[in-house]
Structure formats: C-alpha cells, structure tokens
Amino acid sequence: MPNVVTLGPLTFPLDRLLAVGLMWAFLAGSLWLVRKENRRARRTPWLALGMGIVAARVSFVVSHWQAYRSDPATVAYLWQGGFEPVAGIIAAAAVLAVGMRSFRKIVGSALVLTVASGLWFGYLQFEAQVPRPLFPEGIRLADLNGRPVSLDDLRGRPFVVNLWASWCAPCRREMPMLIEVAAKTPHVAVLLVNQGEDQRVIQRFLEDERLPAAHILSDRGASLMRLTGSSGLPTTLFVRPDGLIERTHMGELSRAALLQGAEQLRRR
C-alpha cells in the first residue's frame, strides 16, 4: 500500500507522520530561538502550535458543518483527520508575531514556520503529481445472499470501496456512518467489502449491531487487501470513473472526508 510507514504490526499513513514531524520541527526551532528568554517567551511556541491546531480544526469543521451537524461529538475525533492547514499557519504566525519579544525572533520563528509549511505544501504538490494506481480488475465478490458481484460492472462511474472486518474496532465505529452515507449518495456507489470473514460471521455482526445488509459485500479470500497492497483496516479507496484510485485513506474515516472524497470523484 503506498504512502504508509510500517513498524512491525503498526502501520501509519505517511502524510500524518510528516505533518506531526513538521509540527515538532517547528516547535523545536522556535523554542531554540527563545531558549534564553523568560518563561513567558518560552511558552509562545507552544501556544502558537496549539492555536494553529485549533484554528486548523475549527476552520475545517465550519467549512464542512453539514457533515458534522448530525453527530457533533465527532468534532472531537481528531484521529479521523480534518484540518485546514492555511488557517492553522495564519493563526500560528499571529501568535508568534504577538508573543515574540523582539523583531529578530519574530523573523526567525516566521522563517521556521515558512520552511515547515513549504515542506508540507511541497509534499502535497508532489503527491498530486504521482501517477494513480489502477483499481484491480476481475474482482468477483459476493453479497450476503451468496450471489456473485463483479466490481468491473462499476467501470465508467466513480465508486468508493471500504475494506473492513468485524474484529476491527475503528471499522465498527465508522460503519453506521458509512452505511448511512452509502444509502444517500446515488451518484457515487459506496461499497463495504468485508475482508476474510465467513458470511455467517458478517451476518451475526450486522444483526448484533442492528445494521442493514445493503452495500455489504464479502471478500472471503481478502483479495482486495492483497491486490491493493493494503496493510491495515479500515482502508477506504476512492476510485475514479477511469478506474484509477484517486485517493486511499487508511484508518477511521470521518463523514466529512467521505462526502468530500465522493464529491471530488463525482466532479471528475
């Protein structure tokens, strides 16, 4: 699976690791600039980082409020992602401008922030230019009645494939939302493909959770995980009408990210 870092049994998306690394690099550089200042000045980089994160999150939530209003508690689910980096950078810069005690330190901290931001946006630009992989052809799955389903029938239209298993806690948390969105997005098919479990196990899980079986498919041999290179669950694939995988999201998905990704596919 592209754009992930695997450490033993743990798998981390590269973009999140890079974002965290750049934030710590900014913090370390800014703290070094004020290392000889008083305690108040040394708090400024921490405050800039904190306010930047809050501003980035608030900006994203406000711009996607329709996705969050049905379940406002998910605003606090930071692990799902959903940040507006420009808003965060502006907020951090404002805190530095006010909190730093000298023009030289303001310029120095602004330079550190600019370098970290430039590396982030450079990564995004590079990622946008990377050729997209082709969604595997010839995939034959089954619905929960045992009827065969060919994903090749979706060629020519956008679709989203979520790989999940009943033993996966993040999969279980996001599934009610995924099923709900799948029922309300007629222009973009959303399929929830179980990986490696027997249909009786899947049926029992859905009955226990009181979830409908619509949009649920079984991949008993976990072929999609193998063919797409997915190294963890849940994984969500956003597939363009031409069959190319536009984006892969590893980990729990927010409603906002799902709707945003589906809308981007619909517009292609």
- Looking at residue 248, what is its pLDDT? 93
Q: At 13, is the pLDDT very low, low, confident or very high (cuts 50, 70, 90)? A: confident
Question: Is residue 209 over pLDDT 70?
Answer: yes
Question: Is residue 9 over pLDDT 90?
Answer: no
Final residue of a structural domain among 91, 110, 129: 129
- Do 96 and 171 share a structural domain? no
Final residue of a structural domain among 106, 129, 152: 129
Task: List the beta bridge partners of residue 247.
Answer: 238
Question: Is residue 164 over pLDDT 50?
Answer: yes
Q: Into how many domains does the chain fold?
A: 2
Distance CA 27, CA 32 (A): 9
Identify whether 166 is part of a domain. Answer: yes
- Do 215 and 123 share a structural domain? no
Q: What are phi and psi of 64, to 5 degrees?
A: -125, 35
66 C-beta neighbours (distance < 10 Å), count: 10
- Looking at residue 220, what is its pLDDT? 94
pLDDT per residue over 190-206, tens digit each? 999 999 999 999 999 99
- Looking at residue 8, what is its pLDDT? 62
Instruction: Tell me the mean pLDDT in the region 32-42.
Output: 87
Distance CA 88, CA 57 (A): 8
Identify whether 125 is part of a domain. Answer: yes
CATH of the domain at 219: 3.40.30.10
Mean pLDDT of the chain: 93
Question: Is residue 171 over pLDDT 50?
Answer: yes
Question: Is residue 259 over pLDDT 60?
Answer: yes
- Do 158 and 58 share a structural domain? no
- Looking at residue 4, what is its pLDDT? 75
Q: Which residue has the tokens 């710590």?
A: 24
pLDDT per residue over 73-110, tens digit each? 999 999 899 999 999 999 999 999 999 878 999 999 99
Distance CA 99, CA 168 (A): 45
- Do 256 and 144 share a structural domain? yes
The range of the structural domain enclosing residue 73 comes to 11-129
Question: Is residue 2 over pLDDT 90?
Answer: no
- Do 174 and 66 share a structural domain? no
- Do 261 and 146 share a structural domain? yes
Distance CA 247, CA 260 (A): 11
- Do 117 and 15 share a structural domain? yes
Instruction: Tell me the mean pLDDT in the region 114-139.
Output: 94
- Looking at residue 133, what is its pLDDT? 94
- Do 213 and 241 share a structural domain? yes
Identify whether 3 is part of a domain. Answer: no
Question: Is residue 1 over pLDDT 50?
Answer: no
Identify whether 134 is part of a domain. Answer: no
Q: Note whether 11 and 5 are within 8 A (CB).
A: yes
Final residue of a structural domain among 69, 100, 129: 129
**pTM of the shown model:** 0.89
- Do 147 and 59 share a structural domain? no
> Judging by DSSP bridges, how do beta strands 10-13 and 189-195 pair with one another?
unpaired
Instruction: Tell me the mean pLDDT in the region 36-62.
Output: 94
- Looking at residue 268, what is its pLDDT? 75
- Do 209 and 157 share a structural domain? yes
Please state the separation of Cα 41 from the chain's center in Å: 35
- Looking at residue 7, what is its pLDDT? 67
Question: Is residue 59 over pLDDT 70?
Answer: yes
Q: Note whether 250 and 11 are within 8 A (CB).
A: yes
- Do 151 and 105 share a structural domain? no
- Do 173 and 258 share a structural domain? yes
